[in-house]
Amino acid sequence: MKVLVTGGAGFIGSHTVDLLLARGHTVRVLDALLPPVHHDQQVPDYVPAAVELQVGDVRDRAAWERALAGVDAVFHLAAYQDYLPDFAKFFHVNAAGTALLYEIAVEHKLPLQKIIIASSQAVYGEGRYRCEQDGVQHPGPRGEAQLHAGRWDPVCPVCGGPLVSEFTPETAVINPHNSYAMSKYAEELLALNLGRRYGLPTVALRYSIVQGARQSYRNAYSGAMRIFVMQALAHKPLTVYEDGRQLRDFVHVGDVARANLLVFEDPRAEYQAFNVGSGQAGTVLAFAEVVAERTATGSRPQVSGEYRFGDTRHIVSDISKLRALGWQPQVTLAGNVDEYLAWVRRQPDFRNYADEARAHMLRVGTVRS
């Protein structure tokens, strides 16, 4: 097949491109090569020569029309992801860009055999919890007063009692808390519903926190591993928000790329959303300890009591639905950290971007204390 990968010069996209080429497909990439992920529109050295690269923005109709010409399938992985309050940009890139894909496909009657959409675990918000008294609960966002007082854990919306976090399945209540998550759910709704209506087989993948080589260190507003690694290699404390006991689900980018190819090749996945995670729950503090151990620079995690406004407390994905199609995560957390370390140490312009990113988030009110 001839396959278009949007965002194919980026993190998840480039690993997906590698697998597509290995399977014998012809690949075209549409990528805007924009900062902070890219620098001066330079093409990364990991983009294979065999790829047809088109530089363009998914918000641009003409760019989409050029990129879609003659392709059989699309991996739409281009996205805007930050922790900044530029709310409109999230929807312009993530939702409107996806609407353009389907608009053009319908208008030109494109015979697309499969469309894979990158969604996010963030669509669940806090995800699924259980109250001993009131059963399964899906609490809303934690309020500013609660966070400012350092009361980190959500409480039962029925009785006000304590909650225990559970693995969150695809059937859980969708309740996105921040603009990125809202834009991703809008993208997912557009894709699955328009795909079904117009006979364009579509799959949405709700990635948990994806880590690994090629994750841009210039974008230090989110991504726990790149931030911790930057700080550790600069011999700085590793900044841990809240009390560090937030439960998260860190998955290796290679495992994610394999999930992309699986749903691309398996017709059973069509018109569905799937969680893609590690299947393991771990605290942010424990993850910081792994980074500290593997970097061996003497840097230690530092719990400051600061928090990112709009963040979720706990979220871990139930991946049993994707496992039923034959997929299984393979890379351990320590192995993931080692791979990322080896990659960044080969980058000539690697430096600590985390401190300036955190300072900016403090100025705009994203990070508070």
Sequence-ordered list of residues with C-beta below 8 angstroms from that of 364, at least 6 positions apart, any chain:
84, 85
Whether the CB-CB separation of 285 and 244 falls below 8 Å is answered with yes
Q: Is residue 146 part of a domain?
A: no
List pLDDT tens digits, range 172-209: 999 998 899 999 999 999 999 999 999 999 999 999 99
* Residue 34 counted as domain residue: yes
- Does residue 64 have a pLDDT over 90? yes
- 229 lies in a domain? yes
Contact between 133 and 116 under an 8 Å Cβ cutoff? The reply is: no
pLDDT tens, residue by residue, 297-319: 999 999 988 999 889 999 999 99
Contact assessment for residue 23 and residue 4, using Cβ atoms and an 8 Å cutoff:
no
Half-sphere exposure of 209 (CA within 13 A, CB side): 21
How many angstroms separate the CA atoms of 275 and 304, rounded? 32
Question: What letter represents residue 84's amino acid?
Answer: L
Pairing verdict, β 114-120 and 202-207? parallel
* DSSP classification of residue 267: G
- Token output for 269: 């996945």
Percent of the chain with pLDDT over 90: 88
351 within 8 A of 229, measured Cβ to Cβ: no
pLDDT at 327 (0 to 100): 98
pLDDT digits (tens, 9 = 90+) for 67-78: 999 999 999 999
Q: What gap in Å lies between CA 6 and CA 269, rounded to an integer?
A: 20
* Residue 193 domain flag: yes
User: How many helices (H) and strands (E) would you count in the chain?
Assistant: 12, 18
Q: What is the mean pLDDT of the chain?
A: 95
When pLDDT is averaged across residues 101-121 and rounded to a whole number, the result is 98
Structure confidence by residue, pLDDT tens digits, 263-292? 999 999 999 999 999 999 999 999 999 999
Residues 6+ apart with CB under 8 A from 221: 36, 82, 83, 84, 357, 360, 361, 366
Residue 148 lies in a domain: no
Q: What share of the chain is helix, strand, coil (3-state, %, to 5)?
A: 35, 20, 45
Domain holding 244, by residue range, is 2-128+166-368
pLDDT of residue 240: 96
As given in the structure block, the two tokens for residue 260 are: 């992309």
- pLDDT band, very low/low/confident/very high, at 40 (cuts 50, 70, 90): confident
Q: Is residue 137 part of a domain?
A: no
Q: What is the pLDDT of residue 35?
A: 82
Asked if 74 and 28 count as a contact pair (C-beta separation under 8 A), the reply is: no
Confidence of residue 355 (pLDDT cuts 50, 70, 90): confident
pTM exceeds 0.85, yes or no: yes
Of the candidates 61, 64, 53, the one whose C-alpha atom is nearest the C-alpha of residue 26 is 53
Predicted confidence (pLDDT) per residue in 135-164, tens digit? 999 999 999 999 999 999 999 999 999 999
Cis, bond preceding 154 (omega within 30 deg of 0): no
- Cβ neighbours for 358, distance < 8 A, ≥ 6 positions apart: 220, 239, 367
Any bridge partners for residue 119, and if so which?
206
DSSP bridge partners of 165: 129
DSSP-derived 3-state class of residue 5: strand
In this structure, is residue 223 part of a structural domain? yes
Beta-strand relationship, 52-55 and 73-76:
unpaired
Question: Looking at residue 239, what is its pLDDT?
Answer: 95
Number of domains present in the structure of the chain: 1
Residue 153 lies in a domain: no
The CATH number for 251's domain is 3.40.50.720
In sequence order, the β-bridge partners of residue 274 are: 205
pLDDT in tens, 77-101: 999 987 678 899 999 999 999 999 9
How far from the centroid of its chain's Cα atoms is residue 368's Cα? 23
User: pLDDT tens digit string along 211-252?
Assistant: 999 999 988 777 899 999 999 999 999 999 999 999 999 999
pLDDT at 38 over 90: no
* Mean pLDDT, residues 328-345: 96
CB count within 10 Å of CB 304 equals 13
